[in-house]
Amino acid sequence: MLPPSAEVEESFSPSVARRCVEKSELADIYEKVVAGDRLSREDGLRLFQSNDLLAIGFLANLVRERFHGEKTYWVYNQHINYSNICINGCRFCAYSRQQGEEGGFLLTVDQVATKVKERLHEPITEIHVVGGCHPDLPFSYYLDLVREIKKMRPESVIKAFTAVEVAHLAHNERLSVSEVLQALKEAGVQVLPGGGAEVFSNRVRQLLCPEKLNSDGWLQVAKEAHLIGMRSNATLLYGHLETAAERVDHMLALREAQDETGGFITFIPLAFQTANTGLSGVQPRTGFTDLKTIAVSRLLLDNFAHIKAYWIMLGAKMAQIALHFGADDLDGTVMEERIGHMAGAQSAEALTPDELQGLIRAAGRQPVERDTFFNPVAETGRA
């Protein structure tokens, strides 16, 4: 027999969830979360080891709601991939090609300008630009690209070039990282996207991307960007060969860097897509891994204001659920996405503002359109 509806409601209410967590194996972590104490490496490991997913979600949601209440952010953005030609050949990447290989592309500055021009009628507030580590594209190309976008979209924020691309440019041009950053800033880049961090573990990097900028180098570029007033995001690529301990250590390295500079805007756990990569045989991620990774990042990264559930990699439905497991942001409309989709992402390539807001409302949250810095965008009539 079904229980009476009042009992059903009681069995799902937050107060019942709290009582369950208080009695669970995570009770001491609950005490710390309530007190606002910083969680330790050991706490992070225990959270990943636990399969009490609802307790983990409850804890992460406490922090998420302490930061943001019901507010859930989205951005009207446009992604532009200027090239997929890359010298690094990371094993997890289905997007890149060696120079001369079939499927490689490089857009001219004019072709990028056309992509921006085609959508000038839309109220886009962020242009996200990334490519690969091209062997010989001159620095002037990057600067012209940014200046051209800025000319056409002076009011939008340009979030462009990962720490890996920046270090690669510095190396190719025999410039210092800070000279490259300063020139990009003067051309119009305000924020570096969070890509290229992958997993900071040397073991994993050796297996998956030995050619790529190492973890110290990645952190150093981010910190130097912060030092000159740029902001940046940070990612973790999870769901391949990394261990839970390596995920925790990655998050703690970011927490330490954020303590130093305060320049990171948001943390983005990127769910690994396996197709067409050198890792097609790895066990596919589970829903538990997705939700635990979001939740543990919310709990460990107490100095990051935002945790992004990037719907392109997670799928819109999992991203929506993540809004109750620590995430407060869905990223944006995107429109054209290659990195995840060339690796088999099943999500759409675009969501309209109405669709994004519908997902947020259906999760019982309050949609807020934001810019790259999470300033609310003035009421546009879309909300």
Binding site for ligand V47 (CB under 6 A): 92-94, 162, 193-196, 198, 233, 235, 237, 268, 270, 272-273, 277, 310, 313, 331, 339-340, 343
* Residue 96 interaction partner, one of ligand SF4, ligand V47, none, beta carbon < 5-8 Å per kind: ligand SF4
Contacts of 317 (CB under 8 A, 6+ apart): none
Q: What does 167-181 look like in DSSP terms, one character per residue?
A: HHHHHHHT--HHHHH
CB closer to ligand V47 out of 150 and 370: 370
For residue 342, give the DSSP letter: G
Picked from ligand V47, ligand SF4, none, the partner binding residue 132 (CB below 5 to 8 A depending on kind) is ligand SF4
233 binds ligand SF4 (CB under 6 A): no
240 binds, among ligand SF4, ligand V47, none (CB under 5 to 8 A by kind): none
Least distance (Å) between residue 275 CB and ligand SF4: 14
Residue 268 partner contact from ligand SF4, ligand V47, none using kind-dependent CB cut-offs of 5 to 8 Å? ligand V47
Q: Which residue's Cβ has the minimum distance to ligand V47?
A: 195
Contact 259, 303 (CB under 8 A): yes
Interface positions, 74-93, toward ligand SF4 (CB under 6 A): 86, 88-90, 93
Q: How far is CA 108 from the centre of its chain?
A: 27
Nearer Cβ to ligand V47, position 26 or 164? 164
Sheet holding 71-75, edge to edge: 329-332, 71-75, 366-370
User: Is-contact 64 328, C-beta < 8 A?
Assistant: yes
Q: How far apart are CA 192 and CA 319, in angstroms?
A: 23
The least CB distance from residue 266 to ligand V47, in Å, is 7
Phi and psi, residue 75, nearest 5°:
-130, 140
Query: Do 124 and 76 meet the contact criterion of CB atoms below 8 Å apart?
Result: yes
Residue 340 contact, options ligand SF4, ligand V47, none, Cβ 5-8 Å cut-off depending on partner type? ligand V47
Give, as ranges, the residues between 93 and 112 that touch ligand SF4 (CB under 6 A): 93, 95-96
Least Cβ distance, residue 133 to ligand SF4 (angstroms): 5
Of 129 and 209, nearer to ligand SF4 (C-beta) is 209
Nearest CA among 194, 165, 208 for reference residue 268? 194
24 contacts which partner out of ligand SF4, ligand V47, none, CB within 5 to 8 A by kind?
none
Minimal distance in Å, beta carbon 198 to ligand SF4?
8
Q: And the tokens for 172?
A: 């190719």
Going from the C-alpha of 339 to that of each of 81, 92, 131, 262, the distances in angstroms are 9, 11, 10, 28
240-299 residues near ligand SF4, rule: CB under 6 A? none
Residue whose token pair is 């040397």: 202
**Closer residue to ligand SF4 in complex, CB, 130/322:** 130
> Among 190, 280, 260, which Cα is nearest to 219's?
260
Residue 235 touches ligand SF4, criterion: CB under 6 A: no
How many residues in total does the chain contain?
383
In the complex with ligand SF4, the residue whose CB is nearer, 133 or 316, is: 133
Which residues within the stretch 115-134 sit at the binding site for ligand SF4 (CB under 6 A)?
Answer: 132-133
Alpha carbon distance 306, 298 (integer Å): 8
Q: Nearest 10 degrees: CA dihedral of 174, 179, 185, 187? A: -50
Q: Which is nearer to ligand SF4, 90 or 314 (CB)?
A: 90
The minimum distance between CB 350 and ligand V47, in angstroms, equals 14
Choice between 89 and 358, CB closer to ligand V47: 89
Q: Quote the tokens at residue 38.
A: 């910083």
d(CA 94, CA 175): 30
We find the least distance from the C-beta atom of residue 189 to ligand V47, in angstroms, to be: 13
Please tell me the distance from the alpha carbon of residue 344 to that of residue 104, in angstroms, as a whole number.
18
Q: How far is the CB of 91 from ligand SF4 (least distance, A)?
A: 9
Residue ranges in 202-221 that form contacts with ligand SF4 under rule CB under 6 A: 209, 212
Q: By the 8 A CB rule, do 256 and 223 touch?
A: no
3-state secondary structure of 293: helix
Residue ranges that bind ligand SF4, judged by CB under 6 A: 86, 88-90, 93, 95-96, 132-133, 164, 209, 212
